[in-house]
A and B are shown apart, each in its own frame.
Chain A
Amino acid sequence: MIPALATILCFHLAGELISRALALPVPGPVVGLLLLVGAGICRPRLIDFLRPAATALLGNLSLFFVPAGVGVIAHLGQFRDNAAGLGLAVLVSTVLAIAVAALTFAWVARLMGDAEGGRDG
């Protein structure tokens, strides 16, 4: 567990260093994620080594999100004052994004003569 956690932290650390050193718009952990995928392609055994620890972390992903969510109490006034704008922005953009992404995928797949969609569904 500890060697795997240390390795995950090393990818996180490398990601932070690269993101900051090159002033990338992508946050450090995302750079770490990409480094991990790249390292996995070069060395598949690394993935097997990390899998138990990574699965444990990912299985509790939503827990890690609780402290930031509780921050709502520090901003209750802002949420109350902007409820309509924020609520509508989230609702409209989510409906449109799902529709546009699904229609684009289905349309481009059909253009390319890809029939896998029919097979599954």
Chain B
Amino acid sequence: MDNAALIWSYLSREPLLWLTATLCAYWIGDRASLAAQRQSWANPVLFAVILLAALLMLTGTDYQTYFEGAQFVHFMLGPATVCLGLPLYDNLRRLRHAVVPLLAALVAGSLTAVVAALAVAHAFGLSPVLMASLAPKSATAPVAIGISEGLGGAPTITAVLVLLTGIIGAIIVTPLLNALRIRDWRARGFAVGVAAHGIGTARAFQVNETAGAFAGIGMGLNAVLTAIIAPLALRLFQ
């Protein structure tokens, strides 16, 4: 009994336990997503987050202790964001052919995502911290988290809202754009990339190759534009 207490006190002090738990939870989440044939609601991150949150609550571990282990994984968001330049570079040629419609749709979609979210939040009287956390939620996770930190939001709330945005976007895009009778795969893909980042892009690739490539361009460009629009839009609502 004494021994078990000693081992637990070691584990709860070192980053090893929660780093291992994070990787294992993601592994399980990924297998679960695969078992559900990669349906858009079966998101591996969602599974992993629910598993880890339950584990933390059961063991009475606070988030700070968990994060000491998980920070190594969290750090990788930065270098991974830099790597998003690669798909953007690969698609530069296709981007040049459709540059005017692309830029028009980027500005319209990005502005709509930020302003509509803030307008609803404002109507509900949400706190400034929640508004700042909400503003960048259509950008890809690492970028949204960076923007949220800069605006005085809570990065962890932003992370959850980004995830929610991606899942909602991936589920509604096909019925919504069918109802609007939009048949141009470039327009369909680009729109979901701008509004619902990587999760939307993954969904677009499942439906059509062209849509997927344009979704990737939309995600990359909106990561840059949201960083500029979100602080300006937030000022409008303060």
A residues in contact (CB < 8 Å) with B: 5, 8-9, 11-12, 15-16, 25-30, 32-37, 40-41, 47, 50-51, 53-55, 57-58, 60-75, 78-79, 82, 84-106, 108-109, 112, 114, 116-118, 120-121
Contacts and interface: CB of A to CB of B under 8 A. Distances in A.
Contacts of A30: 81, 143, 146, 223-224, 227
B229 to A, nearest CB: 9
B120 A98 contact: no
B212 interface: no
**Size bracket, chain B contacts:** 35 or more
B113 interface: yes
Binding site of A, secondary structure by majority: helix, strand, loop or mixed? helix
Contacts of A34: 85, 224
Nearest to A66: B48
Given A58-B84, A70-B52, A70-B53, A33 B63 contact: no
Contacts of B177: 98-99, 102
Interface in B73-94: 73-74, 76-89, 92
Given A8-B79, A94-B138, 7 more contacts: A27-B143, A35-B85, A36-B85, A67-B73, A69-B163, A71-B159, A101-B112
Given A30-B227, A37-B85, A120-B186, A66 B180 contact: no
Contact of A95 (B92, B101, B172): B172
